[in-house]
Amino acid sequence: MDVENIFRDVKLSKTEMTVLRFIQNDPEQCIRQGVRAVAEQCYSNPSSLVRLAKKLKFSGWLELVYFIKFNITMPKLDVTNDIDYMSVQPEEALTPLLASLKQQRILIHGSGFSQLIAQYIYNKFLVTGVNASLALWPDYEILEQQNAACFDSIWIISKSGRSSSALNWVKALEGKEINLVCFTGDYQSPLAQAADTAFIIHDPQKFDDDIYWSNPFFGYCILGFERLLKMWFTSLRSNS
């Protein structure tokens, strides 16, 4: 993941790109040395660097540097040893979700890489006796017109939570009394905000839309789902 991809919607000069790459290579050094030293090494001036930060919608120079540090430079480090990879929002939605799994008719959707996770969840539900269907169609409204079956719950997997496919489904579900569950990497995404239950999966490469860099996100999705199943099995035993 490079700065060119992150800021691809902004027209940047050659000097501005040089500054951004300089920050990406060593953000700690940029923080220690300050804006004047960085400007000198990039053959620019401090005011131009501050204007660059404003141009990219940051409040100032340091905010730009910290953004690049935590969202571009650090994610390239080894992140496969994370432990806290999943949270649930709201937390109180988890118990009724587990209680309803056996009774609900569930439709699962994912596109691109997320389709693989949707397929995994679907297959696992089949062997555990959950009434589930898999939908790879990008438009829910067309699917609904062609399918006579009614669904109690829709499960959507989307890394960003703002893909066109996910947003189309969210919009199509507005006003319908269908429970929305999602697995996503961004708790602030439109998908997470619209969901009745959102499983927020740790995504150290949030801005890697092309999914180029190594990333445990999709592995965490499977681990998170398996953790959910374990909680469900435990609740079934305790209620039997």
Per-residue three-class SS string for the chain = CCHHHHCCCCCCCHHHHHHHHHHHHCHHHHHHHHHHHHHHHCCCCHHHHHHHHHHCCCCCHHHHHHHHHHHHHHHHCCCCCCCCCEEEECHHHHHHHHHHCCCCEEEEEECCHHHHHHHHHHHHHHHHCCEEEEECCCCHHHHHHHCCCCCCEEEEEECCCCCHHHHHHHHHHCCCCCEEEEEECCCCCHHHHHCCEEEEECCCCCCCCCCCCCCCHHHHHHHHHHHHHHHHHHHHHHHC
Instruction: Supply the pLDDT for residue 147.
Output: 63
Assess whether the region 3-76 and the region 86-239 belong to the same CATH fold.
no
Alpha carbon 82 to its chain centroid, in Å, reads 16
Domain ranges (residues) in the chain: 3-76, 86-239
Instruction: Supply the pLDDT for residue 215.
Output: 86
Q: Domain 86-239: which topology?
A: Rossmann fold (3.40.50)
**27-41 vs 14-25: helix axis angle to the nearest 10?**
150
Copy the structure tokens of residue 96. Answer: 């009724």
Query: Are the CB atoms for 153 and 178 separated by under 8 Å?
Result: yes
Instruction: Supply the pLDDT for residue 213.
Output: 79
CATH architecture of the domain with residue range 3-76: Orthogonal Bundle (1.10)
Task: Answer whether the bond into residue 75 is a cis peptide, omega within 30°.
Answer: no
Look at the pTM and tell me if it is higher than 0.85: no
Cβ count near 227 (within 10 Å): 14
Instruction: Supply the pLDDT for residue 80.
Output: 44
pLDDT tens over the chain, length 240 residues: 578 778 888 999 999 999 999 999 999 999 999 999 999 999 999 999 999 999 999 999 999 999 998 888 876 554 444 558 899 999 999 999 999 998 999 999 999 999 999 999 999 999 999 999 998 876 666 666 666 568 899 999 999 999 988 999 999 898 888 999 999 999 999 999 999 999 999 998 888 777 877 889 999 999 999 999 999 998 888 776
CA atoms of 68 and 17, how far apart (whole Å): 13
CA atoms of 119 and 75, how far apart (whole Å): 27
Query: Are the CB atoms for 115 and 144 separated by under 8 Å?
Result: no
